[in-house]
Structure 1
Amino acid sequence: MKNNRNIKPKVLFFDVNETLLDLTKMKKQVGDALGGKDELLPLWFTTMLQYSLVTSASGDYKPFGHIGAAALQMVAANNGITIAEENARAVIGNAMQNLPPHPEVKEALLQLKQAGYKLVAFTNSSTEGLKNQFENAGLTDYFDEQLSVEETGKFKPFTETYLWGATKMNVKPAECMLIAAHGWDVYGAMSAGLKAAFVARPGQQLFPLAPKPEIVETDLKKVADILVTYQ
């Protein structure tokens, strides 16, 4: 769905993992659990996303961290490594809740707040997990609201989940913009009628068959510099 460009959205929704938080530290911890094979992190992450979609499509719900731990067990098994469920959950829980923000994130968020934007975190992580992530990263005070899809029982990028977020903030989908570093998230948001900005973090690409988002930049500060010009 096409949206009017350069019109200031009422609410900015931010994906959290990779968009705001740097996954480098997590890559090391997951890599260690996989026998030092850091190169398996992308496979683990995509497996986690795949099975979050499978869970939602099946009408079920499991905490995102638990799906991440199960995905870790699957990737490990395919590489001749056995990880017990309890150990996998401990690895993922610790890794995901102790991530630093990317270097430009705090400056960009402050710039957007000072420009009058309402900032909302919008994540597949659990409510408790998001709270811990933000406290550990020092991001809590930058946001007006923290939303986890846990309340909906359905993960992004399901259309209903984005519409729930807009309803939760008492705005229309077209009055929202999702800012994310994942092509699938941006595509899902635009399909639900939201505006979108893509943060092209290293290793991330837009889906070529999806509509192009309103903003495409390499970091959050560059996205913020554009958004503060909106009327």
Structure 2
Amino acid sequence: MRIVIAGGHGRIALRLERLLAGRGDEVAGIIRSGGQAADLRDAGAEPLLLDLESASVEEVAEVLRGADAAVFAAGAGPGSGAARKETVDRAAAVLFADAAVRAGVRRHVVVSAMGADPAHPGDEVFDAYLRAKGAADAYVRSLDALDWTVLRPGRLADGPGTGLVRLEARTGRGEIPRDDVAAVLAELVDTSATAGLTLELIGGSTPVPVAVKSVAGN
């Protein structure tokens, strides 16, 4: 399976790349700086140099062609202002989805955020982030040409993963290690029965494969 990941140098993406490469998948990560390439190669992924804030739909479609799945894990990141929440968290996600449609890549997994809502109120940067994520999610979910799954993790942590999660349409607030987010994404990528679902994710008591199979069967 070939999987292309937008935001390939992110903390979740690098973990996901290691997992996918380790199980034998062909993995590529889109990065905006050549200085990030070595980290992707160390994770077992092919670096693809492309700036999603300035690329055209056709340029992104070109790097997606031949893939079996696409994962949007890009983000403006902490410290960025409201403008980049709009250009990365919303516009780049929309661009990536449109490019997947053009390239004929149906399986599409989005890393979103708990509380994402295009109508989220407030004037803080985090409010703008939740609106941008919510708008991007709504756009992806409107595309019949994609078999999409939207994953909304709770508060992210860098501690070691437990392999035990709670994955449901609504979980309530909670923390989740990035290791476990990556593990769930790896399962979701090739579990097409989760297409059409928006799922929240926090730490829990269910092993990752069982949690994904459970939501896929609902």
Which has the larger Rg? 1
Is the shorter-chain TM-score for this pair beyond 0.5, marking a shared fold?
Answer: no
Larger relative strand fraction: 2
* More helix by percentage: 1
Q: Structure 2-normalised TM-score? A: 0.30
Q: Which has the higher contact order (CA 8 A, sep 6+)?
A: 1
